[in-house]
Structure 1
Amino acid sequence: MSDIDPALPPFARALLPDLHRSFLRAAAGGVVLVLAAGIALVGGHPALWFALAGYGVGVALSLVLMRRGYPHGRLGLCNRVTLARLALTAALLAPLAGDVAVAWAVPVVALLALSLDGLDGWLARREGLSSGFGARFDMEVDSALALILALNAMAAGSAGAIVLLIGVPRYAFAAAGLAAPWLDGPLPERFSRKAVCVAQIATLIALQLPPVTPEFGNPLVAVVALMLAWSFGKDILWLRRARA
């Protein structure tokens, strides 16, 4: 049974397959979550529009990925959970644009986004909807969350520019892949990679806590940066050997 969205305008129903309409319907529901989390973060500040714009860009890019190849005929709960994580991540853009945030709200929203990580993958396996798209969608939301939290930590003064070392590694790796396409090859599942990713996000959430100062935050960032360098280095060596 396909997910059909009667609420979309006729031209969208005519141009998009049922699955993509279902994705947009779920994404439209995510707008409510962006607004709810955004209001918790900055109240009624106009910076909410920045969060909504970021969410819109994320949804558009995700739809492009889905159209490139999604092997299933239904969206499932798994992809809806990842969309919810995207909505929470986008809401965290509001404090950056408004330079204001309710105390403790940033770590709470970020912790909620982290708590949903892994649930989407578990649901995908349970629903029989595992796919390369789902794995990529999940990874890109994780990467965006890391970058946005790193920028929030800098803005809050809990860490210096060094925090970007644990906010941009995924994007640096992707940029390297443009010069060396073999870096864009498929990687095997590895528990250590997931553990380091969780440590990365957990550290970035800890840096959002009001008492944290650079004297504590910067050394913590350095440790996690070394963990990320080890994890990415391991993947690069594996890809190099696979290429050979």
Structure 2
Amino acid sequence: MAATSPVPDPPGRLRRVGTVLAVLAGGQLLSGVLVVLLAAPASRLLALGAVLVALATWPVAASTLHPRAPGAVTAADALTLLRHLGAGALAAATVLVLGGELAARSWQLAALIATTLATDALDGPVARHTGSAGTVGARIDMEADAALVMVLSVLVATAVGPWALAIGLMRYAFVTASWVRPALREPLAFSQFRRLVGGGQGVALLSALVPAVPVPAASAVVALALALLVVSFGRDVIRLERAQRSALR
């Protein structure tokens, strides 16, 4: 029998899921260590907590990458995972902020947040260029965004007040509501308003942590972002509920 040549991986594919997740976990732990070292000295217990919390978004990455197994992740997925890496470093920084060992409003953290947010502009074009765009990649991207915004909202809450947590919790409240409201599980039609509001949340949270922005102005920007987010989710809920009622008639 003639030997058959191996079938090459589709364009844009990289390492296996398990390998990528192991690298991500190591990278998040290392980022936590680096944040602790930059904020030194800190108590051993607080430093340990910060390093471990750097893994906070790893389960999200693992659950969203699961559909790729046993195959390989794409180049676009790898770029998306950089947001999980940045979120891990920011989660570690948040622990140090809560422990009084690090200032929430600093140029160093602002630069890290800006760099992490910038990766969101790269994965989409790469996915389209490599022909690897799809529903799985879109969900990996969406959940990475949600996890990062959740971490940022905790960090911002230390600067402007606990009400800022509502920004990070909104997505998870919607998912929880979908468990009891089947209409909310239906796919949403594309909305430019939703896209702009969602993309603006990270920018608003970043602005709240830039030292040059006065705290009252930062609070106003975050409050506006929250109000727009409430409107966006409200519109989606109303549309989904109306669509279900129409389908039942």
Residues 111 and 59 (structure 1 numbering): CA distance in 2 closer, same or farther, change over 3 Å? same
Of residues 79, 82, 102, the one that matches 1:81 is 79
Q: How does 1:20-169 map to 2 (within 5 A)?
A: 22-31=16-25, 33-35=27-29, 37-39=31-33, 41-43=35-37, 45-66=47-68, 74-99=72-97, 100-101=101-102, 103-155=106-158, 158-169=159-170
C-alpha distance after superposition, 1:68-125 (max 9, x if no partner): xx9xx64221011111111111221102223333732222111111111132122112
Contact 2:208 2:218 in 1 (8 A): yes
Q: Which moved more, 1:209-218 or 1:122-131?
A: 209-218
Contact 2:153 2:164 in 1 (8 A): yes
Mapped to 2, the partners of 1:113 and 1:164 lie a distance apart of: 19
SS in 2 for 1:86: helix
Which has the larger Rg?
Answer: 2
Contact 2:208 2:221 in 1 (8 A): no
Residues 147 and 83 (structure 1 numbering): CA distance in 2 closer, same or farther, change over 3 Å? same
- AA at the equivalent of 2:22: A
1:36: Cα distance to partner? 5.6
SS in 1 for 2:120: coil
1:140: Cα distance to partner? 0.9
Mapped to 1, the partners of 2:88 and 2:226 lie a distance apart of: 24
SS in 2 for 1:46: helix
1:210: Cα distance to partner? 3.0
1:151: Cα distance to partner? 0.7
Residues 52 and 215 (structure 1 numbering): CA distance in 2 closer, same or farther, change over 3 Å? closer
Mapped to 1, the partners of 2:223 and 2:238 lie a distance apart of: 22
SS in 1 for 2:154: helix
Contact 1:33 1:84 in 2 (8 A): no
> Unaligned stretches of 5+ in structure 2?
1-7, 39-46
> Unaligned stretches of 5+ in structure 1?
4-18
Matched residue pairs, number?
223
Which residue of the partner structure matches residue 188 of structure 1? 189
- AA at the equivalent of 2:196: A
SS in 2 for 1:208: coil
TM superposition score normalised by structure 1: 0.79
- Identity over the aligned pairs, expressed in percent? 28
- AA at the equivalent of 2:48: P
Residues 65 and 114 (structure 1 numbering): CA distance in 2 closer, same or farther, change over 3 Å? same
C-alpha distance after superposition, 1:158-199 (max 9, x if no partner): 211221222211111111111102102111222221211121
Which residue of the partner structure matches residue 221 of structure 1? 222
Residues 20 and 171 (structure 1 numbering): CA distance in 2 closer, same or farther, change over 3 Å? farther
1:138: Cα distance to partner? 0.9
Residues 139 and 26 (structure 1 numbering): CA distance in 2 closer, same or farther, change over 3 Å? same
Contact 1:143 1:170 in 2 (8 A): yes
TM superposition score normalised by structure 2: 0.78
- AA at the equivalent of 2:75: L
Report the aligned-residue RMSD. 2.7
